[in-house]
Structure 1
Amino acid sequence: MKHPSVKDYMTTDVVTLRSDAGFKEIVRTLAERGVSGAPVVNEMGHVIGMVSEADLLHKEEFATVADEPRRYFESRRARAARAKAAADTASELMSSPAVTVPPDTSMPQAARIMGTRQVKRLPVVDADGLVVGIISRADVMGVFLAPDHQIRERVITEVIERSLWEDPARVNVGVTDGVVTLSGTLEQKSLIPIAVKLTRALDGVVDVVAHDLTYAVDDTPRDGRTY
């Protein structure tokens, strides 16, 4: 079952920063464009890092402690933050290397990358490494904003009819706030967990309840084995 890709949700009007952009220019650019972070590109237009508001705030954070002696056992994160506090250009402020994805990356995969790499946004690059868009956590969460009637239609057409080859008249599909309720009768018992799995995989589905979904024929092996 095909998931939408980042190209379907990404912002294409991407704010980028030159590597030599100064501190005030970065602050001004982010403020004027209403974004909290932007990719840093080199002279070839390739993404080399990311600058976010968090990187900029270190200058204010360490402004009042600049003359204080450093702790001997200062953490790696604290050392990096202190270094960024003294930075004046995008190349010094940025976090690198940047985590990027191609346009055909699925939305679930993008969500996993954001989670595992602990980033809030992903520049989308083409085969030449040039920026064609950017995807944010807000864009990923937007997948769950699909209206209930749209989710219901996809369950019926993509799961019940196309994948299971079942008569949709025998299965009742209800959707409330993204929670799908399946009831009725499938032809075989083995299709019930498949129906639940395929439904849960649809974009926008929050959960699946199938307690009242029954079957006409028990086709499961008597010894409990699955094949």
Structure 2
Amino acid sequence: MRKWQVSDVMTADVVAVEPDTPYRDLVGLLADKRINAVPVVDADRRVIGVVSESDLLRKIEYVGAEQPHWFQRRRRAQQHKAAGRTAAELMTAPPVIVLPLTSIRSAARRMDEAGVKQLPVENDLGRLVGIVTRGDLLKEHLRSDDEIGADARAAVHDVLLAENFATVSTQVERGVVTLTGRVERWSTAMLTLRLVRLVPGVVEVVDRITFDYDDHKVADSVPAIFVA
């Protein structure tokens, strides 16, 4: 089973701007392309920042606003950005980027931690090769039940190779995988559930697996041995 990566869902034909791109051109570009952010690149196509709709809205938000007090650092930074006229003055930097081989789960966590809606994608040389958005990361859940079922069955098969009499059936409906059957050990059941949950497109796993031998209780009952 292959895990989905950023390269599977990103937009490769990415729009980018140069640092000296004027404010009005940035507004027009986002409107024409129906995007909410654009990477800013240098002459070597390395990402130096990102200009988003939020960055551009500062010019509207702070029109006529009074100068903030010295201790209002965040507002001072935002008002300074509101006075910007080029991408270099408006962008958010340093940019949060990902590599093409980054898993989509890692990319989702990075977006959430950084509080952004998109991530520029750079290759090993640090050059822009794409962009991935929140919507792109959701594409794995557009997989058909047949595709999900095939990967889930493959995952189950790999786990059960270690057991002689285990049987687990797999049913998929709208991304929900139901596992039914019997295995020899508790650890086998848990590993099966874990691997099926990792299948791209799985919404939920319903566990109907029983087991004959609870090996995790045996492991908990073994006293620890300390070596001086």
TM-score, scaled relative to structure 2: 0.88
1:38 matched to which residue of 2? 38
For the residue of structure 1 that corresponds to 2:220, the secondary structure is: coil
- Equivalent positions of 1:1-227 (< 5 A) are 2-63=2-63, 65-66=64-65, 68-74=66-72, 76-157=73-154, 159-165=155-161, 170-210=167-207, 212-215=208-211, 217-218=212-213, 220=215, 223=218, 225=220
2:226 matched to which residue of 1? none
CA RMSD of aligned residues (A): 2.3
Per the TM alignment, residue 5 of structure 1 is displaced from its structure 2 partner at its CA by 1.1
Change (3 A) 1:54 1:221: closer
Please list the CA deviations of residues 51-80 of structure 1 after superposition, one character each: whole Å capped at 9, or x if unmatched.
0011001101111x33x3424542x32222
Change (3 A) 1:32 1:152: same
Distance of 1:94 and 1:168 partners within structure 2: 60
For the residue of structure 1 that corresponds to 2:94, the secondary structure is: coil
C-alpha contact (below 8 Å) 2:145/2:173 kept by paired residues = yes
Percent of residue pairs bearing the same amino acid type? 39
For the residue of structure 2 that corresponds to 1:225, the secondary structure is: helix
Runs of 5+ unmatched residues, structure 2: 223-228
- Indicate the larger mover: 49-58 or 78-87: 78-87
TM-score, scaled relative to structure 1: 0.88
For the residue of structure 1 that corresponds to 2:206, the secondary structure is: strand
Distance of 1:117 and 1:222 partners within structure 2: 41
Change (3 A) 1:226 1:40: farther
Change (3 A) 1:123 1:22: same
Distance of 1:160 and 1:95 partners within structure 2: 45
C-alpha contact (below 8 Å) 1:161/1:168 kept by paired residues = no
The one-letter code of the counterpart of 1:58 is R
C-alpha contact (below 8 Å) 2:166/2:183 kept by paired residues = no
Aligned residues: 221
Per the TM alignment, residue 111 of structure 1 is displaced from its structure 2 partner at its CA by 1.0
Per the TM alignment, residue 85 of structure 1 is displaced from its structure 2 partner at its CA by 0.8
The one-letter code of the counterpart of 1:88 is R
Runs of 5+ unmatched residues, structure 1: none
- Indicate the larger mover: 180-189 or 122-131: 180-189
Per the TM alignment, residue 225 of structure 1 is displaced from its structure 2 partner at its CA by 2.1
Distance of 1:197 and 1:189 partners within structure 2: 13
